[in-house]
Each structure stands twice: as structure tokens, then as C-alpha cells.
Chain A
Amino acid sequence: MSSIIKKKVIIKNRLGLHARPAALFVQLANKFESDISIRKEEQGVNGKSIMGVMMLAAGKGDEVEIEANGKDARKAVEELEKLLMSNLEG
């Protein structure tokens, strides 16, 4: 069953969504079938696009909204949220 799930997350990691954290985010996003987007203020980008996510330039303390649309939307948002809440330094 297809669904749209949204979730707001405040970035905890000191480096924000810098190159490597952005890469981790994109790699994880690409594991899901759902369409995934990530939004900061009025700017929204495809969560599966490395250049898009890097261009968000989301830093520590920024609020971003993850949105997934598809069969595995719930799981996708859950895992991506977990990644953003971790220190992303795995």
C-alpha cells in the first residue's frame, strides 16, 4: 500500500549534512523504492540526489523535513530519521 510519510528532524550532527553525511543519507535513501525528498525551509530536493542534498547545505540545528512516497515510505522515513539523529560518523 502506497503512502506519504513526512517527518521533521533537527540536525544534531555538528557537521550538518556535509559531504560524507550527505553521501550516507543518499546511499540509504537509494535503498528504498519510495520517492524521497528532503526539504529545508522553502528549498526541497530529491533525497536520492547527492548534489541536491549537498546543495541544501543543512547545518547543525537546521530543521529539515523528510518526505517519502511509496510502498516502503514508513520504513524509509524511520531509517533516514535515525541516520540524521545519529552523529553520522559511522
Chain B
Amino acid sequence: MTLKGIAVSPGIVIGKVFLLNIESFIIPKIAIKEEEVANEIERFKQVLKQTNEEIISIQKKLNRELGSKHSDIFNAHLLILDDPVLTEQMTDKIKKRKLTAEYLFQQVMRNYEKAFSEIDDAYFKERISDIQDVGKRIIRNLLGRKKANLANLKEEVIVVSYDLSPSDTALMGKEKVIGFATDIGGKTSHTAIMARALEIPAVVGLEKITVKAKNDDLLIIDGDKGIVIINPRRQVIEKYYKKREEDLKFNRELKKLRTLPAQTKDGYPIEITANIELPEEIDSALKEGAEGIGLYRTEYFFLNRSVLPTEEEQYQAYKFVAQKMNPHPVVIRTVDLGGDKFLSHLNIPSEMNPFMGWRAIRFCLARPDIFKIQLKAILRASRYGKLKIMYPMISSAEEFKQANRVLAEVKKELKEQNIPFDKEVEIGAMIEIPSAALTADILAKEADFFSIGTNDLIQYSLAVDRVNEKIAYLYEPNHPAILRLIKIIIEAAHKEEIWVGMCGEMCSEPVFIPLLLGLGLTKFSVSPLMLSRVKKVIRSLSLKEAKVAAKEILNLETIKEIKHFSRIRFKEAMLNFC
């Protein structure tokens, strides 16, 4: 049986299913004697205390490893343990019904689950998972049972679960776990990030994998295509074994590159940094040999939550990233809300044309309260490493200066409060709007650096909505207009002697790498997963030849000609990619 989900961590793996958290406890109904009642109540209270300690210790562990954002999840769990009604109900029930605490507790939990599932509100319904998580922990402790132990696995397994929580992965014996397959999740869910950090294949969002797969079933995970096959036929297994061998061979080649410099064949050094979304991705970035973080997106602080992030919360995350990457640089992009991502908790009316609407730096300038908190957090963290600040969606030099005035106010406040920060923090502009590209010469006098965001630059320049399927074919990095704009940006930066990099998807596509090199780009920022591949291509190229080719391409008039030229001239680069 084949299930389709979302591919979040590449590679192929074949192995046995280990169902996690799908354990069903069969709890027998056992009566207790009158004289045991007091003891049973006391035992229940002890278990609550024990569970409380367990959660606090997991929370501390996560705090150390991942920062407070992830450990906060457990605050809700602690409150549930402290719930006076829960203790009261249990005390009453034990006294009246004279049954074991685990049996009664399971009934209480079922009632809560039922009550919550009947609430006509998705947000409340989701709380069931918190209650279940705590509930299972309590029952396990009442039974004196350890959690289905992923720490002492005897053989390699693929973990199949509804979802993986930080507490699951924190306690996992990582060397025996060879893949993840889950019912829910997306590219930035905890499961996805952990899989990439552990370099094991993973597919999430499979919806019913926990129902379809049983313990010890044979499972194939294709983390490139997002496919999971349960109990595959022999031919299929053989096909995948072969593919896996090829993959592993290719990956071994790539791994060798991790410690090698990103240098062209003719000896020019190129810098490859990583794009990240969450602090936890730093490990993957470092492992892949990133020479810094070229784009640290900060939207996740603001999305899917009901309260604005505090300065302290942001500061802790930025400090963590700065310290871990030190002495390498980290470019933090100030929050890019709007467009397709908006805060659920601010009352912001939906717009007809959100991509051209109130978003990114425009939003931040209109809401200095939110903007200042972020700037303050970044500046405070700046003394722990080499942080740089980048404003998204800059459309003119005036806008850039306006943002800098807010930054100056924040710096002044920090100075007045004697809070130390790095006074040399570089401030750059993300160049993703055509007006900024065309006035890059003016902007370059204000900014310390540029980073070209190709996804939006293409969408705005060609007036193509990226998500509209009918016109998706018009979204084309090979358009002569795009190549010219990139050239203008790079040349303007070089003329003012500021550095310029690219953080869009274009610079991780093999066919564009020689062209971009030829246009003078020396800094590429790509997803950690693409890092070694991009490096492999760069190491196969001669900068001199790339420059000649780029010049010829700029003389071509149509997309078709450009594609044709690239295909022939850059064949080698593309072959090096896979």
C-alpha cells in the first residue's frame, strides 16, 4: 500500500515499523479494599508529583538544547497536573468506587477527551493532544511502566507516529532510528526539523499511517518524493534498495565536500551560507559546512500563536544562534509578515492583493511597537556573535533610512539603559522589489550589504503570482529582465564596495550557478540540504569561463535562447548536481 505525504527530509530507507504513542494500555478493573483507599489517593498524588518532576526535567533538557520556545509547550502540561478539580475528582472516585487509580483515571481522561472533542472550535479541540500527552504520562507512572522506550532499541526502526513531540525526540535513541513517518505535520514541524538534523529520511502529513501500518510491518520511506509504501512487493523492495545504494554513494561523495572550501576550479573563493527558519536548524547548517547564516527568517515567532513574542523570547533565540554560529556571521531578517503569512492575533483585514500590500518593512514601520521589540532583541544578542540585520521588501532608499531611524532610536534607548550591544552591526537591504533593484546604486550608499531575494523579485518584475497555477509558466528566472536586474544589483554593490549575496531559490538551482558566478555573485545562501550540492557545482566551475558565458547570455533575447544556451554550456554543472 502506498501513501502520499509531504517530503521533509530526503533519502530512502527501508525498515521495520515501530509505532510510537499508539500504545493502548489495557487497564484491568481492579477493586481495592476500604483500608487501601487512603493509600491509593496518596499514590495518585505521588504520581502527579513524579510526573511534574519528569516534565520539568524534560523542559530543562529542551531549554538547554533548543531554547525556551520549545519548552514552553510543557507549561500547559504542568497546569493540568496542578488542576485542583482533577485531584478532587480522583479523590472522590477512589473513595466512592474503590477501584485502582489507573482505572479511574483513564475514565476521567476519557470524559475530558470527549468533552473537548465536542467543543465546536478547532483551537480548543487541539488542546486534546496536550491532555492526552499528560494523561498517558500519568497512567504510565501509575502502572509503573516506562514510556515505550525509544532509548534502548535493539534493532533499527522507522518511527511511525501521529506526530512527534519534542519530548519524544529528546528521549530517542537516535542511532537506531532510521526514518520518520507521521500522520500530521509540515515542512517546519518539529518532526521535519529533527529528521533533517539527524539526516534521516522523513515523510509527514500522511494522514492515516498510524492506522494503516502495524508494528514490524516492512516500510519504505521515499523522503525525496514524499511516498511511504507499507509491506511492498519484492520487486519494489529491490528497486528501492538499488536506488538507496546510488543515493548513499552520492551522499558519501557530498559528505566529503563538507570540510572542503567552496572554491572555483580556478581558485576563486565563494561563500556558501545557509537559510534557516528555526534556531534548531543551526546544527544541520554547521554539519553541512555552512560558513554562516545568510538568511534567518523570523516569522515563526509570530505565526500560529495567540500572543506577540516577547523581547526576552526573541533575545534568547537570537543569542543562541549568534553563539552557535560564532565567529561566522548570521543575517537576521526582520519580520516579514503579510502576504501569505499573517499574524492570527492582530486584527488585520484581509487584502485584495496581499503580496503588494501591508507587509514586511511596511508593516514594521507602521507598527514600531512590534518592530522595536525585535530590533532591541537582535541588538542585545549582537554581542554574542556576529549578527547582521536585514530589512525585507525595501522599495526605496527613503524607506531604508526610515527603518534605520527606528533602529537609531532603539540604539539610543539601549545606551541610556547601559545595555551593551555590538555597535558595528551591519544593516542591509533585501533586494526583491524591482524599484529597489533599479535604484540599487542609490541604496548602496545607505546599506552595508544587499541580499537578493529572487522569489519575490521574479514575481514582482514579471507580474506573476507565484501561486496562480494558470500563469505559473510565466514565472521564469531565465527572463532577460531578471538577469539584467541581477546584474544591476551586483554591479551597484560592487561599485560602492558593499557585499552582495543571494538568498532566493534561484541560487540553489545548478543551471543558474555558473550564470550567477559569471554575473559576479560571490555569496550564495541556500537551504542546509542544498549546501553540499551547490558547493559541488561551484567546485566544478571556472570563474573565468563563467564570466565569458554570462556575457554571452546577456546578449540573448529570449528565454528559449537562454535556456538552450545554458543547457549546452552548463551541462557539466548540471551533471555534477546529481
Contacts and interface: CB of A to CB of B under 8 A. Distances in A.
A51 B83 contact: yes
A89 B307 contact: yes
B19 to A, nearest CB: 28
Interface string B117-133: 00111011001000100
Contact of A49 (B86, B121, B124, B131): B86
Contacts of A18: 123-124, 306
Contact of B347 (A14, A21, A52): A14
A46 B84 contact: yes
Interface string B501-538: 00000000000000000000000000000000000000
Contacts of B123: 15, 18-19
Interface string B69-84: 0000001100110111
Contact of B345 (A15, A55, A90): A15
Nearest to B344: A15
B345 A89 contact: yes
Given A50-B79, A55-B116, A89 B306 contact: yes
A63 to B, nearest CB: 17
Contacts of A46: 84-85
Nearest to A89: B307
Contacts of A20: 306-307
A49 B85 contact: yes
Contact of B84 (A19, A21, A23, A48): A48
Contacts of B347: 14
B306 A57 contact: no
B124 A54 contact: yes
The main secondary structure of chain B at its interface with chain A is: helix
A28 to B, nearest CB: 12
B347 to A, nearest CB: 7
B83 A49 contact: yes
A14 B345 contact: yes
Contacts of B307: 20, 89-90
A81 to B, nearest CB: 20
B308 interface: yes
A30 B87 CA distance: 15
Interface string A4-25: 0000000000110011110100
Q: Number of contact residues on B: which range applies?
A: 20 to 34
Interface string B99-143: 000000000000010011001110110010001000000000000
A29 B115 CA distance: 23
A31 to B, nearest CB: 13
A52 B306 CA distance: 20
Contacts of B80: 50-51
Contacts of A50: 76, 79-80, 82-83
B85 A51 contact: yes
A9 B26 CA distance: 45
A51 B306 contact: no
A26 interface: yes
A58 to B, nearest CB: 10
Interface residues of A, number: 23
Nearest to A24: B307
B79 A26 contact: yes
A23 B85 contact: no
Interface in B290-307: 306-307
A70 interface: no
Nearest to A20: B306
B83 A57 contact: no
B121 A15 contact: no
Interface in A50-70: 50-52, 54-55, 57, 59
A90 B308 CA distance: 9
B239 to A, nearest CB: 47
Contacts of B116: 54-55
Contacts of B345: 14-15, 89
A23 B76 CA distance: 8
A21 B307 CA distance: 9
Nearest to A52: B85
Given A14-B347, A55-B119, A23 B79 contact: yes
Contact of A23 (B75, B86, B115, B124): B75
A59 to B, nearest CB: 7
Contacts of B84: 46, 48-49
A26 B82 CA distance: 10
A53 to B, nearest CB: 10
Given A54-B124, A57-B124, A89-B306, A19 B76 contact: yes
A81 B131 CA distance: 27
Which residue among B116, B119, B127, B308 has the maximum number of chain A CB atoms within 10 Å of its CB? B127
A15 B127 contact: no
Contacts of B85: 45-46, 48-49, 51-52
Contacts of A51: 80, 83, 85-86, 112, 131
Closest 8 pairs (CB-CB, A-B): A49-B85, A50-B79, A57-B119, A89-B307, A49-B83, A46-B85, A15-B306, A48-B84
Given A14-B345, A49-B83, 5 more contacts: A15-B123, A18-B124, A19-B127, A23-B76, A89-B345
Interface of B: 75-76, 79-80, 82-86, 112, 115-116, 119-121, 123-124, 127, 131, 306-308, 345, 347
12 contacts: A14-B345, A15-B123, A15-B345, A18-B306, A19-B124, A20-B306, A21-B306, A54-B116, A57-B119, A57-B120, A57-B124, A89-B345
